[in-house]
Amino acid sequence: MAANCGHRQRSVTWHFDSQQSRCVWMHSSIFRACMAPLCVLLSTWQAHAKMLPWQQVKAMPFIVQDGLEIARQARGKAPSSLYVVCSQNKELHLILSTRLPGPRWAIEKGRDDNVSLFVGGIEQQLKVVMDLVEKGQDLTWLESAVSRDGEGEPDTLVITRIKADEIKTIGSWFGDTPPLKVSIVGYAETGVFMVGAVAGPAIAEFNASCVTE
């Protein structure tokens, strides 16, 4: 009897382990089935988050192959970024991504304006033409009442092709350390104020890679 009881106990134990394994396998399958869509969603979100603002603009007048952020938001100022980009035709352009200040009715897609790029002081000035290719969505009355300046979808502005001597001049203005003041003034009679994100050598290297690729 003792042997039979022992055998029966082992049989029950094996049966319990089998059921437990089956339950674990079922729970694991359900977990994987539930996690799969979440993983896909997370991967999509991460890929979207890595996209630069101008990569999401459908109205870009040229195909951008690569870009370098040369200036970004200054403390206490509206979120903004200034990029130098290389087009498919090996041409350099500047792209400004920011929520333009001032009344939204004065900001019209397709509007061209003469603007000035300042690096450091007013003595380092480059006059260019800037075009608004994408206007951020306007806020509702309630959103406007509670939001701060610069909040909302960014506007995207493109500066006409930068010549070889102009990009070299910009690189020299940025010097050996990122400048403390970079601004674009004049579009719709407004100004965007940033700080340098890179030094001059990075701009020179990007220029060389665009031309030789």
Q: What is the pLDDT of residues 103-113, one digit of tens each?
A: 777 777 777 88
Cut 0.95: pTM above it: no
CB atoms within 10 A of CB 197: 19
pLDDT tens for each residue of 76-133: 888 899 999 999 899 999 999 988 877 777 777 777 889 999 999 889 999 999 888 8
Asked which of 13, 30, 50 is the last residue of a domain, the reply is: 50
Q: Label residue 187 by pLDDT band (50, 70, 90).
A: confident
Which amino acid does the sequence have at 173?
A: W
Domain of residue 27, residue span: 1-50
Same domain, 93 and 164: yes
150 & 197 share domain: yes
Last residue of a domain, one of 50, 66, 88: 50
One domain, residues 86 and 168: yes
Q: Are residues 94 and 34 in the same domain?
A: no
What span, in angstroms and rounded, lies between the C-alpha atoms of 202 and 182?
Answer: 16
Task: Render 136-204 in DSSP notation, one character per residue.
Answer: PPPPPHHHHHHPPTT-SSPEEEEEEEEPHHHHHHHHHHH-SS--S-EEEE-GGG-EEEEEESS-HHHHH
Query: Do residues 64 and 151 share a domain?
Result: yes
**Burial of 164 from C-beta contacts in 10 A (0-12 / 13-18 / 19+):** exposed
**Does residue 93 sit in the same domain as residue 6?**
no
Whether 62 and 46 map to the same domain: the answer is no
Q: Do residues 80 and 158 share a domain?
A: yes
Are 59 and 102 within one domain?
yes
